[in-house]
Structure 1
Amino acid sequence: MSVRRSASRRLLLAALASALAVTAVYTAVHNSAPAAAAATLPPTHAKFDYQIGGPYTPPSGVQVVTRDRTAPIAAGLYNICYVNAFQVQPGEQGQWASDLLLRDAQGNLVIDEDWGEPLLDLRTADKRTRVAAKVNGWIDGCAAKGYKAIEPDNYDSYTRSKNLLTASHAKAYLKLLATHSHSKNLAIAQKNTVELAGDRQSIGLDFAVAEECGEWDECQDYVNAFGNNVIVIEYTDAGRRTACAGFKNTLTIVQRDVAVSTPGSSGYVRKTC
């Protein structure tokens, strides 16, 4: 801070004293621990591609892309990092401590039968902390690659847990991931699980990724909780038409094939409104 010189020593001393006082205030304010920079949310009503089945050159005009955490980002776009946060990817079971895999009373793994994925055990604070430590390491990797947001999948795994997990377990665990994501200046999505959308603020969720909200007439429920910060992924023509009929001018909407395959694959589908 510069101080204008005065004609007398007396005024000079007074000016210096004033300067020191002002500087002290300035230092106290500006050298205090800064708040984490706000995460940047995906643009709303954007052209989007869902590439969790494998990265490829985004179609012309796409602004936002989601890719698996193992993939590089798409340069120049808003990139969302897909993380299977509540279940274990096929082939990765050996990477987890045995006691962090959910087991029933007979000691058998509890499996998401549709995808062959063991569920993670989130029933105690200690286990949630340990699971979160591993997943937060993946989130760090997403940040290092240049991703801007996290999509933690299978928030609703408690509904497939043979009543061993509860919504409260899921929310407590996801809050750990949200807090860590924000510490890395990453936005974090609620993936599906519309019945818990009302808890988004207490958990710290920034936007929604909603699969088949057109198919199941749930898009408005997500809008009620997240405004227009909703990315919609449909897997049928009917679902896409329904989502587009109600929200084509406000939400981000795409139709993909269930396998989320890459162009050139026999089942590849990508349609928009």
Structure 2
Amino acid sequence: MTSHRLRTRTALGAGLALAAAVTTSALVVGTANSTAPFALPPVNAGFDYQIGGAYTPPSGVEVVSRDRSDSPAPGLYNICYVNAFQTQRAGETDGPDDWDPNLLLRNSDGSVVIDPDWDEAILDITTDAKRQSIANKIKGQIDECAAKGFDALELDNFDTYTRDVVNGRITASHAQAYIKILSSYGHTKGLAVGQKNTVELAPNRAANGLDFAIAEECGDPRWNECSQYVDAFGDNAIFIEYTSAGMKNACTYADRVSVVRRDVNVAPKGASGYLRETC
């Protein structure tokens, strides 16, 4: 299945019984393998998606997601964006040249597999040894998020296994085994961990150690996935739309979850193309 996400950057274990038990307010919670308490994002709160560059949050915003290279917004609940399943583009910090070549997924001809939409090399999480090695590097980025004072993690590209270019080499089982390593570590650092997109795996969110959802385009009429995130995560969900049609559908949940419309490039306020709308 091809990912349909407009992901941008400057990028059945639980069931309905669990969904009914999901908290509807920001609480300090923990898990069996956590060594530090962590707080969930406040639900149905004003949200701003700033992974394309930080700026002063608009009035009414309580929750912000920013790239780990930026600092948290003072006085707000801050989510730290980490590109956990792919490298950055060639020439950027954490691009493919900054990774062990053996940890990059390769085609049968030995060439590195590149996500064509974002020009990012895909990390090879197909063995336990490689997952551990990749996770060790990403843990350093999680440490950076925690040290800066972020409250939660947005681990992007959980759905890399759905990319056509992967051709089945990475599976949903690989993705879940890997994200469990990262979510467990995030919890030990006192960070809540969000599931980014990947609605197919939302029912497994408890087993995967994922505390809330960040869903792009769930309101898009082609997909209509917002209800599935609410089924799995209750009100602990944040919906991001990029079109008026998607926003209209997502806004039917605006009395329960956080909803925002942004421009596709998630430009900082004042930059060309900037757009931010609420329900």
SS at match of 2:215: strand
Q: How does 1:10-25 map to 2 (within 5 A)?
A: none
What is aligned with 1:82? 81
What is aligned with 1:154? 157
Distance 1:266 1:85 in 2: 28
Q: CA deviation at 1:111?
A: 1.0
What is aligned with 2:14? none
Distance 2:278 2:202 in 1: 25
What is aligned with 1:97? 100
Distance 1:158 1:217 in 2: 21
Are residues 1:125 and 2:131 paired?
no
What is aligned with 1:222? 229
What is aligned with 2:63? 64
8 Å CA contact 2:81, 2:155 repeated in 1: yes
Distance 1:152 1:222 in 2: 16
Deviation digits for residues 106-146 of structure 1 (CA, Å, limit 9, x no counterpart) = 11111110000110000100000000000011001000000
8 Å CA contact 2:153, 2:194 repeated in 1: yes
Read off the aligned partner of 1:83 and give its amino acid letter.
Answer: V
Deviation digits for residues 180-201 of structure 1 (CA, Å, limit 9, x no counterpart) = 0000110001000000011111
Q: Which moved more, 1:155-164 or 1:225-234?
A: 155-164
Deviation digits for residues 155-202 of structure 1 (CA, Å, limit 9, x no counterpart) = 000111121100000000000000000001100010000000111111
SS at match of 1:63: strand
TM-score normalised by length of structure 1: 0.86
Indicate the structure whose relative CO is greater, using CA pairs within 8 Å and at least 6 residues apart.
Answer: 2
Read off the aligned partner of 1:117 and give its amino acid letter.
Answer: E
What is aligned with 2:6? none
List 4+ stretches of structure 1 deviating above 6 A.
none
SS at match of 1:202: coil
What is aligned with 1:266? 272
Are residues 1:191 and 2:196 paired?
yes
Which residue, out of 188, 202, 205, partners 1:200?
205
Which residue, out of 181, 184, 187, partners 1:182?
187
Q: How does 1:244-263 map to 2 (within 5 A)?
A: 244=251, 246-263=252-269
Q: Report the number of matched residues.
A: 239
TM-score normalised by length of structure 2: 0.84
Bigger Rg, structure 1 or 2:
1
- Please identify which structure carries the higher helix content: 1
Q: CA deviation at 1:266?
A: 2.0
Unmatched 5+ stretches in structure 2:
1-32
Unmatched 5+ stretches in structure 1:
1-33
Q: CA deviation at 1:35?
A: 6.4
Read off the aligned partner of 2:155 and give its amino acid letter.
Answer: P
CA RMSD of aligned residues (A): 1.1
8 Å CA contact 2:64, 2:73 repeated in 1: yes
Are residues 1:144 and 2:147 paired?
yes
What is aligned with 2:241? 234
Aligned residues: percent identity? Answer: 57
Distance 1:207 1:166 in 2: 22
Q: CA deviation at 1:38?
A: 2.5
Distance 1:100 1:35 in 2: 28
